[in-house]
Chain A
Amino acid sequence: MSEATGTIYTETVVYSATEAFAADVPYQTAIVALDSGGRVTGRIISEHGERVRIDDRVSRMEVRDGVPFFRKIP
């Protein structure tokens, strides 16, 4: 079981952010239920406007400053 894959437990698209994230708006965050157990809050990579929904499968592509970034597994 991998820490790098999981299932979307819940998600949102943020339109109104703090100063630190203002340049990223709109961006998607999600709580991911990891296959290895436990949940983590991370960002969804959507270079082409992809969005994830509850129960979608995702894979962790990278960790930036401690924050996991996930992408939908097609």
Chain B
Amino acid sequence: MRPVAVVGIGKTPFGAFPDRDLRSLAVEAGEKCLNNGHTAPSQVDAFFLGNFAGPSFAGQNHLAPYISNALGIHGVPATRVEAACASSGSAFFHAYNGVASGVYDTVLVVGVEKMTCQPTPKVTEILAGAGDCAGEIKAGSTFASLFAMIARRHMHQFGTTREHLAAVAVKNHANGALNPDAQMRKVITMEQAMAGKPIADPLNLYDCSLISDGAAAVLLAPAERAGEFTDKPVRVLGIAQASDFLALDQKPDITTFPAVRRASDKAYNMAGVGPADIQLAELHDCFTIAEIIAIEDLGFAARGEGGPFTLAGHTARTGDKPINTSGGLKSKGHPVGATGVAQICDLVLQMRCEAGARQVPRHSLGLAQNLGGTGATCVVTILGTV
């Protein structure tokens, strides 16, 4: 396996864009990325698309060649990867393997989701398709309610509080307010975050990520050739994908995500670093409790300490372990299939010192954690400029 670098990034803003369809969003991100990596469509050896539910949201299937050909990328393998909210993290993982193994040199990965074309109850139903439809979903579970049951158990076992959950939302909104591409650029107070409309006890509106349209793209190339594309390459130092049970009631312990632990163990080993070395991270805060558990599963804090760690300010932009400086899924937005690649883009922005008002001073080693469903898929990526 040979070293691989991210040599181009491109994103659309995230938000509700009634005049934009799935293809135009994906093409915008892809074109920005190719331009950023000074690469012509004809130089791309393979195309990977991360998308969760294009067929359900937009009625279009066979999406990978649909997008690649619109980008002017003709003839090469074009493959869609679906892994719920980890779709584009997984697409990135498979693209990485293609370059690392020497099968491809230049690979474009695009993640996209167009969600706001459906009313909220329908969006809730489509998202529920990432759970076990014959069991938990049939019993009336939504994704918010599955994470609510996780939160309830975490509170019971570890004393996590509503205030801990709210601290995640307040922090991520404060970051998103500084991100020009974020969907909800709004600072919220602790009082607001504590008193949101109930969605599924103990989670309220402010604990839930957004319904979004958007796309993100990255270009991968062998590290030894990175200089041909960019003067600011970022190396993929470690990456792993892992899986677990789909249904929450099959998991022995729902207060931890074994797939996150497996993927991060592998990625840390591959990169030769540990949790204490990571300087900034983009974590999958689909719900506030998910960020708290990710903090624990990734080893940033001990089990049960993710809430107090957040409330104490460690994960703030000015803290010693900044998490979700982009605003996270909570404030930046969560176009499901775009999220994994968007996390990579946001880390690269920080590592290139291009993150504007939200730039952090220590940015040479970053980690992205992309979670699918209630933890049935996880991709962990460690990026470095060293």
CB pair B128–A15 under 8 Å, yes or no, is no
- Beyond A12-B201, A41-B136, whether A18 also contacts B128 by CB under 8 A is yes
Chain B residues, CB < 8 A from A43: 139-140
Judge if A61 is at the interface, Cβ distance under 8 Å.
no
Q: Please, how many angstroms separate the alpha-carbon atoms of A15 and B197 in the complex? A: 9
Question: What's the dominant secondary structure at chain A's contact region?
Answer: strand
B248-A16 in contact (CB<8A)? no
**Would B140 and A29 count as touching, CB distance under 8 A?**
yes
Point out the residues of chain B lying under 8 angstroms from A20, CB to CB.
Answer: 125
- Tell whether, in the assembled complex, residue A12 and residue B145 are in contact, meaning their CB atoms are under 8 Å apart: yes
Partner of B153, one of A21, A22, A54: A54
Residues of A within 8 A of B142 (CB): 14, 16-18
Known contacts A16-B144, A20-B125, A54-B156; decide if A29 and B138 are in contact (CB<8 Å). no
* Minimum CB–CB distance for A49 against chain B, Å: 14
- Sampled A-B contacts (16; CB under 8 Å): A9-B153, A10-B153, A12-B149, A12-B203, A14-B140, A14-B148, A15-B199, A15-B201, A17-B124, A18-B125, A18-B128, A19-B121, A29-B140, A40-B135, A41-B135, A66-B134
A68 CA to B249 CA in the complex, in Å? 13
Q: Is the CB of B249 within 8 A of A14?
A: no
Given A14-B140, A16-B199, A29-B140: A22 touches B121 (CB 8 Å cut-off)? yes
Counting chain B residues whose Cβ lies within 8 A of the other chain, the interface size class is 20 to 34
How far, in Å, is B254 (CB) from chain A's closest CB? 7
A24 to B121, CA, bound (A): 14
A interface residues with partner B (beta carbon < 8 Å): 9-22, 24, 27, 29-31, 39-43, 54, 65-68
| Interface residue? B316 (CB, 8 A) | no
* Residue from the list A10, A15, A68 in contact with B152, Cβ < 8 A: A10
Closest residue of B by beta carbon distance from A9: B153
Alpha-carbon distance between A30 and B150 when the two chains are bound, in angstroms: 11
Query: Quick check: is B179 within 8 A (CB to CB) of the other chain?
Result: no
Q: A9: which B residues are within 8 A, CB to CB? A: 153, 254
| Complex-state Cα separation, A14 to B140, whole angstroms | 8
Q: Which residues of A contact B135 (CB under 8 A)?
A: 40-41
B38 at the interface (CB under 8 A from A): no
CA distance A60 to B62 in the complex (A): 44
A15 pairs with B138, CB closer than 8 A: no
In the assembled complex, the Cα of A9 lies from the Cα of B249 at a distance in Å of: 9
Measured between C-beta atoms, what is the minimum distance from B150 to chain A in Å?
7
Compute how far the CA of A26 lies from the CA of B335 in the bound complex, rounded to whole angstroms: 27
**The residue from A22, A31, A66 contacting B138, defined by CB atoms under 8 A apart:** A66
Contact indicator A16/B153 (Cβ below 8 Å): no
